[in-house]
Structure 1
Amino acid sequence: MASPSGTPVPQAHLTVSKVLLTNPVVPGQRIQWQVSVANDGPSRARNVVVTDRVPAGVLDASMAAQDGAVCPIANGTATCPAVEIPVGGLLTWTLSGTLDAGATATPTNTALVTGGPDASTSSHTAVASPSTGPVAEARLSVSKVLLTDPVVPGQRVEWQVAVTNRGPSVARDVVVADRVPAGVADPSMTADDGTACPIASGTATCPAVEIPVGETRTWTLAGTLDAGATVTPVNTVVVTGGPDPGTPTHTAVASPSSSPSAQARLSVAKVLLTSPVVAGQQIRWRVTVTNDGPSRARNVVVTDRVPAGVNDASMTADADGTSCPVADGTATCPAVEIPVGATVAWTLSGTLDPNATAVPVNTAVVTGGPDPSVTAHTAVATPTEPITVLHDLLLTKQASPENPKVGDTVTYTVTATNRASGTYLGAVVTDDLSGVLDGAAYGGDARAGSGGTAYAAPRLTWTLDIRPGATETLTYTVTVKPDAGGRTLVNRLTADGSNCSDGNANANGNCSTSTTVRNTPSPSPSPSPTTKPPLPPTGSGNPVPALLVTLVFLVLGSSLIAARRSRRSRR
């Protein structure tokens, strides 16, 4: 019987291979390698240990044998528990992990196998060298929103595009192209880091960027919406890059849900154009409306209350003469639009009442725009100076008869005609009788067609209100005194604002009269008839009765003559 002189020397020829299981390799997704160890014999392989260096860029790595035995990982290396492999047997181990989302190359994986023992080598090295690079996949989410609320024509409007990388890979070469909507002026677009996006041919194109997985980048398009805009523009953006396995381009649209809110701040002014203001003549006011923006003003309506005492009123737009109908004392102008910075004016005209004693106040109300600060503007033209009184009174004076004689009654007729546009209120006509009363006596019988008279010697005063174009008359009488023969009776009219005012008296000969009393010879007294006494009868003896009768007649005649002379001297 042969006894062994030593222990057997096992020999296990091992075959080791390393392969990349994942295809395609996608950054950010799971990646796996497999190491296979085959025992080609002749002996059973013992203490077979597999160590696998986890490649850089592989996260959350794990390694396990085909039977599920876990290979602990320390210092970046997975070391699997020692195993035995029968002759002809094959065992596998799988290394798994998540490839870095930003990986641009497929990692190389190397495994080291010891044990057996293998008579040819103490350790086997197997390398999985990739033949292609990784295939990036970045699923992008793109949204477009209108940031401005409310949207106001003439003011800044902003949209924002947001691009989110849902992974699994880093998104590269992400390019945002945004078409500037029509009606948006002075546009600009910037990224959230302030990078400007050049605008050419109406499109803003932003420089390409990378977006890490799970992150969002934003870009903002801004500009000024046209002041006359009536709709909120639609804004569309196109995003490329990633690459996104779902689509090479993303389109996002910001569709408005409401119309823009116009805001037009209006400035309204009301002024009196007429100076001086004269009763009975034309008077005009102007209202101006200026649009201070930011939006175009629409449905601007001017209503203007015609002041009391203004007749035949009319109102028109200054620019084109459009008439503003007047109803119930109010002029209402057709609605207009006013561009930003522009001013529109309307003029109210009429004839001021002849009896006006003050300049009327005129008030206009303006609505529309709309004006965010107030729904209606009220503008008032308050007069700063009194009404101007212009009088033009034509006075004439006549005397009848023109050549009176002693004892005649002379009638004076004064006429007053108002040639001015306004009523002459409180006109005072003074007739100076200083040159009359020495030769005639005032009859106290002044009669006027209107107004009132007052007499305080030597002046007769006539006070009246006289409307434009009207003529009024005053008459009175004087009686020529008995001793006025040869005298001239002169009287003069005066009145402010007339042809007979100070400085104008007698300018046309109508302001005074000059009447000369005719001289008439005084009649000689006629002797009383003398009655001859009857002759006494023949033969009568006493003549005394006849003489007494004669004497009585002579005395009566002398008394009559003396009485007549006395009455003339008293006159």
Structure 2
Amino acid sequence: MLASAGPASAQGKVPTPTDNLKVQVSINPANASPGDTVQKTIRLINEFDQPQNIVNFVDSLRSMGVGFVVNGSPTITPSPSCTGIGKGSMSAPNGGVTISITGGVIQANGYCEVVVPVQIPLTATPGTYTNRIPACSTTAYADGPLYTHHGNDYYCNKEPSSGGDVTVRNKADVGITKTDGVTEVVAGGTTTYQVVVSNAGPNAANNVAVTDTAGTGLSITSVACASTTGGAACTASNAAPLGTVNLPSGASATFTVSATVAPGATGSVTNTVTATVDPATTDDPNPSNNTARDTDTVTTQGTVSISKTVDKAIYANTGDTLGYTIKVSNAGPSTLTGVSMADVLPTGTTLSGTPSCTPAGNASCGTRSGTTYSGITLPPGGSLTITISAAVPNGTTGTLTNTATVSRPAGGMTCNPSSCAASVSSAPAGVPFLQLVKTASATTFAVGTPASYTLTVTNLGTAATSGSITVTDTVPAGLGISNLPTGSAGCTASGQTVTCTTAAALAASTGTASWTFTITPSAAAAPSVTNTASVAGGGDGSCPADSHCKSTVTTPVNAPKLQITKTGNGPWTIGQTGASYTLTVTNTGAVTTTGVVTVRDTLPTGITFGGTSPAGWTCTPSGQNLSCTGTPNLGAGNNTTLAVPVNVTAAAVPAGVHPSTPVTNVASVGGGGDPFNGGTAPTPGTACAVLDTATPGHCALVSTTVQSAASISTQKALAAGTITPLTAGQEVPYVIRITNVGGTAVTNYQFNEIIPVGTTLVSVTEDGTSTCTAGAAAGTVCPITVTSVPANGFARVTVMVKVVNPLPRSVTAVVNEILVPASCSVSSCEPPPTKPTGCPAGTGLLCVSTPTEGETPPPQGVQPIPTLSEWALALLGLAMLGGAWRGRQRHR
């Protein structure tokens, strides 16, 4: 830019930088939030001993960043040392970015002070923003700071201003809630908490730390970020902190926290969760809702089993001793205290010797009285083995049955399988005595793979059986039954109950009968099945009640175990083609999947299904819910991927939200023989995460950034500091600012500069280029291209024109305008705004009209250099000669 654009150089003067002119800037308050309006105070200080006339002062808010604008009317602070500054000499238009003063006087050793309300943009990110008034330059004035003069002496501020900083921190009312939906928990059991972190705004809160303090008796086992709303994004950790979350205003994130209660816990357990904003970037005006607690009463629940054996199934009726072994165990989940075990010896027998008790797994035997133990403690996995001997007197006849019973007066105990008592019998010599044994064909079953059960009855008595023998087997649900034996020693099935019979007599001591049938496990059978059968008949009066008449077998069932993970090929742009989510389904189980696998996907608002199903899958949309089914037959450890095409619409970035917004997608998987959730895929999001908190697991979540479309606006103005009225031969700079508040950069933005009447082109500089060359005449349409307007940023172009010399009288105003060419595409153009006041009808997209002197508003005009006709010049010469002759006559 040439020196002619500056105020001093137009007078043929070069300003002298001086320390006697200073600019101070302060912003109050110094800490603020996006959207706030702060008061910017500008003090122009004169330390000369003589007054200084203000030629020009210019301050541009764009040095602070995009979006900082004047928000209201400036105020002139009254001061006796400041005169002549008023509405006509100060310009700070509402919504504008330039503050300028032309005219006015700063008295000797005085100052002038103005206060301008400045709004911080809603899109401002946390940090310190600085508005420094630069030191002056003696060669460039378009954005010049302070220029003054006293007489013919011109000065400018030698040093940049002090102050002018504002620290922006988001203001966000972050809150947190927590509940597990119950008021009681079981000692040794588990509970799942729902933790919801939300932001009531008005600004975003990023890097919010979520911490969880588990009270005594409580341990956190897993954490998952289950779902989000409003563009939130979260991460989860099983270690402190619990997780972090980025929360736009109005957004929320839901964590699922799984915890175990200590087996010995009593009273109550309390879990406390806290959300803490990042103090470097965010202020929370309401910290009272940043902590939540959940307290539950602890109850006791233990599953006890009791079994009993005898060392002799046949006793001698001439006198004998029977040895009984009793085992009591607790499968948990709670530690049981105050348990009792009472054993009743068979009628006619007496206690022989002293009973013994051997504890295991941190159990304790309590105290004994006869054949009763009380005050027993049984932790989960703990057990007692008790031995008791009974003397059988000579002449005893009949079956001797011994029963042991376990109890807990305080409650909280259940027994497995269904009875808290166990009995065992011994028969006298000379009668049949049946024993049933049930076995499985494999130590582990697999879903979808056939296996078998075998039932075997043996006569251990000293006499053969008489009459038919019947075995009844209730097969667990989840096991399909087939291939039943037929014939006289066959089996029938009614539902899940299998009945097998034989009429054959079983010889004493060695006689047996057996039956084998096929079972096929389904997903419902996993992770294990327990099957109990019983025998009756054959002349054994102790069956089916006694333990030797029953047999139980428990078999693990291997099943497919599915996991799902999800990614997006973002970041995306509104209207983008080729956007997609990739879902990967992996079988981490030990057996191959069978049947249909279902993947459910809840698409975020603004993201729609692209209509093409992945190969091997059928996807059906219903609103934002997508269900994809397939039969991938995944072997153990294998996986398959689904590339789901999606469309990105404008609804993905709600109005008022930052132009780069994350959208969160949740998905789930089920079926294929996986027993999870009954073999079906649950509703994605929180409902799924409650069921499975593992990561990866049956639930998946991914956040993908969506960038809004470009949103271009253009401003055009006469460069600050340009001397007006314009004169012939003056070089005049125009500044064109192209602002993009969208999330996508615009490339090759185009507009046409129309060279104003009465001027010629000098140059196009900064971010723009043109095919026009210097000297292009008035009316020339000069295409200007800006290579890139960055997302959430701006570009600037300076067009310099020169007023022709001589200037025709017909040119009463310079009207500079720009037009968007018809060839411009939608992504790189903008709709025409309302034309500024003062622009003639028919002008272009934007124009700047500079009136001539005497027009309203003054004083920006084109002032032609005055000229006189030849007769007027002759008369002026004669008048001047006459005046000189009269002067000489007076001095004679």
Structure with max Cα Rg: 1
Q: TM-score, normalised by structure 1?
A: 0.47
